[in-house]
Chain A
Amino acid sequence: MTANLEQPSEPVGTAPTATAPTARVLPPRAGVMSAAGSRLAAMLLGAACIAWTATPLLHTGLAQTALTVAIIAVVAGALRLALIDIPQPEDHFFLPGYLAAWLTFLAILRVLAWEETAVVAILWLEIQHPARPWHTAALGAALLAYLLTTHIAESGTRASTLLRRHAKLLIVGACLLALGAGFAMIPAASAGAGSAVLRVLAALAVIAATALVLPA
């Protein structure tokens, strides 16, 4: 490490004018709008996944529980994204009660895995319904979109760049989703649980084969 020996300028300081040549200066307004947009999109996609899965409304205990958990998780995930820019102080000593409660609330929002909980709860809600292959396939696409949007919102990555890289995989994935739904619609060769499991294994084999064949 080398310390430079320059002296400070006059006390009436002037703002540093030169910017790093490699730095891309983005208009701040655009940054704020894109961040708010991706967070709003994540929340709307989560709400859409719940609404898509919950209809028609089931009144069994497990379905109600899964629905409640999914709503709480999506709302908490949206709150986490909305409050992600609020810095957390390093010192927690001698804080007033309301401030300590607020910091605890922020910590709970940031520590718990809300999106994972929401995904599991939504899938659990989906299997409470009778089998509906195309509906489930659409839900799979929506869940993946929800997770991607959440990642874009929290990492600040440019959505266009990330989606361009994922485009080929997403197209293949959509085909596999349709294939899975198609497998589910094939009538069983014989009655019993064995043939249903066989169809699931066949779908998995197709997915695995595709993953192996697909070039890097």
Chain B
Amino acid sequence: MSPQNDSVLRPAATLGASSQVQAEEALINWRPSRHARRLVTLVAAALLMALLTRNPALAGVAAPPLLILGMARLGKGRPDRLGVRVGLTSTRMYEGEPVALDVSAADDSRDLRWVFHPGRGIEPGSAVAVNGPAARFTFEVPRWGKRGVGRVTLTLHDQWHLTEGRVSFTLPAVDCYPSPAVQRTEVVLSKLPNRLGEHRARVPGDGTEFTGIREFVPGDRQRAINWPASTRRGRLQVNTFAAERSQDVVLLVDATTDVGKPGESALDLGLRGTAGAARAYLNARDRVGVITYQWGGAHWLAPSLGRRQLYKIIDVLLNADTGYARGAVFSRLPRAALPPGALVVAFSPLLDGRFVEALRDMRERGFALIVVDVLNTEPPVRRRFADTAARRIWLMEQQAIRFSLRELGVPVVPWDGVIPLDLPLAPYTRRPLVTRR
């Protein structure tokens, strides 16, 4: 086995707390270093001028760099390939969450230097031990989406720093999830489906919340007898309890328009709100599904339970982007995506007329709807009369849209993305939401 291949087979330096996500034998591209080119220039210029001016002292000037250049030829062999390992502390993260990138090479006998070139939408942080066999870089992703982390370039030097090898490799992509909004309370429907859950229903059942007393009938459990009440009335009385049910919640995201500053746009707020609501309802043991409405169609995920569903929902949200999408037609969503009697929470800037029409249609079909208005920007104020008039007309149109929805019995609550979602939803979380057809 040739000594060049030794470095490939040797185990790489141990990574830190990260998990290995990429390991490869990268091809090294060797070439003279800039330092070598400078020494060659000094040697050539000094020798040429020594011969031109017949001055032996100038030949002496060429001697030290010539010696260094000569020694480089006697150096040890250069490997063609190098084992490189890449590790990330996480390949999935929330917006603004710091992530560490560990890189290590299977050669600690040479001078190594790591350089991290971050990809689009990646904000580099600190770097540790970039001149060694293992380095650590930190970065964060300020906005949700699937992001390529970038590239890492490794420069190897020989003993004399006269030849340098370059290894460049592309880092894997990461998924950045929208940071969930804070929501601790839930909107609960007045009519809940007959399924065991944690919400108190209006019908009596086997829950834990006391609702009243009634006369004992054969078949009642003896442990439910209320002895003080039975003693007072002279007949056996039993306690009654409220049933505990769960509900179906469908989160509707309007991804047709994305207005506002990047990072605080309507789509950003919509996705953060959806992620927060999904987490809150799933924690309350509700079945949660999601529908993203885009130009030309909709993506959907049927309601389900559990923590895994939260990540499925966020994965669906990551595919939400303004633009045309091929998917199911919104008016023909299957029953599984939009079960009858489900609570629908829509996050929308209400700028797309077709989406507003779809909301009206859903309300007319009897769904209980709440719209969280995520529009947090307005047209700029300008001095020209035409601009001012257009702005006023636009504002009036927006008010009219919201008014028409409220008239249909669809609450529209504004949310700026800063305050918890509990605050705008407070009037609807204090008591069950009554669904009227």
What separation, in Å, do the CA atoms of A46 and B141 have in the docked complex? Answer: 43
What separation, in Å, do the CA atoms of A111 and B52 have in the docked complex? Answer: 30
B-contact bits for A158-190, CB 8 A (1 contact / 0 none): 100110011001101110111111011000000
Check A173 against B111 for contact (C-beta < 8 Å): no
What separation, in Å, do the CA atoms of A6 and B88 have in the docked complex? Answer: 11
Please provide the chain A residues from 133 to 166 with a CB less than 8 Å away from any CB of chain B in the complex: 133-134, 136-137, 139-141, 143-144, 147-148, 150-151, 154-158, 161-162, 165-166
Check A200 against B55 for contact (C-beta < 8 Å): yes
Return the chain A residue nearest B68 by Cβ.
A169
Partner of A23 from the list B16, B42, B62 (CB cut-off 8 Å) is B16
Check A25 against B128 for contact (C-beta < 8 Å): yes
Return the chain B residue nearest A140 by Cβ.
B61
Check B45 against A155 for contact (C-beta < 8 Å): no
Check B22 against A1 for contact (C-beta < 8 Å): yes
Check B90 against A169 for contact (C-beta < 8 Å): no
B-contact bits for A15-27, CB 8 A (1 contact / 0 none): 1111111111110
Check B132 against A22 for contact (C-beta < 8 Å): yes
Check A157 against B161 for contact (C-beta < 8 Å): yes
User: Which residues from A are CB-within-8-Å of B71?
Assistant: 169, 214, 216
Partner of A204 from the list B13, B59, B134 (CB cut-off 8 Å) is B59
A55: Cβ under 8 A from any B Cβ: no
Q: How far is the CB of B132 from chain A (nearest CB, A)?
A: 6
User: Which residues from A are CB-within-8-Å of B96?
Assistant: 13
Check B55 against A8 for contact (C-beta < 8 Å): no
What separation, in Å, do the CA atoms of A207 and B66 have in the docked complex? Answer: 8
Q: How far is the CB of A207 from chain B (nearest CB, A)?
A: 4
Partner of B74 from the list A136, A178, A216 (CB cut-off 8 Å) is A216
A119: Cβ under 8 A from any B Cβ: yes
Check A13 against B61 for contact (C-beta < 8 Å): no
Check A9 against B97 for contact (C-beta < 8 Å): yes
A-contact bits for B123-141, CB 8 A (1 contact / 0 none): 0000011111111101000
Check B102 against A210 for contact (C-beta < 8 Å): no
User: Which residues from B are CB-within-8-Å of A16?
Assistant: 16-18, 89, 98-100, 138
Return the chain B residue nearest A143 by Cβ.
B42
Sorting the interface of chain B by its residue count into under 10, 10 to 19, 20 to 34 or 35 or more gives: 35 or more
Q: How far is the CB of B178 from chain A (nearest CB, A)?
A: 9
Q: Report which residue of B33, B41, B160 has the largest number of chain A beta carbons within 10 angstroms of its beta carbon.
A: B41
User: Which residues from B are CB-within-8-Å of A25?
Assistant: 128-129
Q: Report which residue of A1, A13, A161, A172 has the largest number of chain B beta carbons within 10 angstroms of its beta carbon.
A: A13
B179: Cβ under 8 A from any A Cβ: yes
A52: Cβ under 8 A from any B Cβ: no
Q: How far is the CB of B227 from chain A (nearest CB, A)?
A: 48
What separation, in Å, do the CA atoms of A14 and B89 have in the docked complex? Answer: 11
Partner of A8 from the list B66, B93, B161 (CB cut-off 8 Å) is B93
Check B89 against A151 for contact (C-beta < 8 Å): no
User: Which residues from A are CB-within-8-Å of B133?
Assistant: 22
B-contact bits for A88-132, CB 8 A (1 contact / 0 none): 000000000000000000000000010110011001101100011
Please provide the chain B residues from 92 to 114 with a CB less than 8 Å away from any CB of chain A in the complex: 92-100, 102, 104, 111, 113
Q: Assuming the A-B contacts A2-B21, A20-B14, A136-B55, are A127 and B49 also in contact, with contact meaning beta carbons closer than 8 angstroms in the complex?
A: yes
B91: Cβ under 8 A from any A Cβ: yes
User: Which residues from A are CB-within-8-Å of B16?
Assistant: 16, 18-21, 23
Sorted from nearest, which 3 A-B pairs have the closest CB atoms? A180-B60, A173-B64, A13-B97
Q: List 22 A-B contacts (CB under 8 A).
A: A2-B21, A7-B311, A11-B180, A16-B18, A23-B136, A116-B38, A123-B42, A123-B46, A140-B57, A141-B64, A147-B39, A148-B35, A151-B33, A154-B34, A155-B113, A156-B131, A169-B71, A176-B63, A180-B63, A184-B56, A203-B60, A207-B59
Where the two chains meet, the residues of A that have a C-beta atom closer than 8 Å to any C-beta of B are 1-4, 6-9, 11, 13-26, 113, 115-116, 119-120, 123-124, 126-127, 131-134, 136-137, 139-141, 143-144, 147-148, 150-151, 154-158, 161-162, 165-166, 169-170, 172-174, 176-181, 183-184, 193, 196-197, 199-200, 202-204, 207, 210-211, 214, 216
Where the two chains meet, the residues of B that have a C-beta atom closer than 8 Å to any C-beta of A are 13-23, 33-35, 37-39, 41-42, 45-47, 49-68, 70-71, 74-75, 88-100, 102, 104, 111, 113, 128-136, 138, 157, 159-161, 172, 177, 179-180, 311
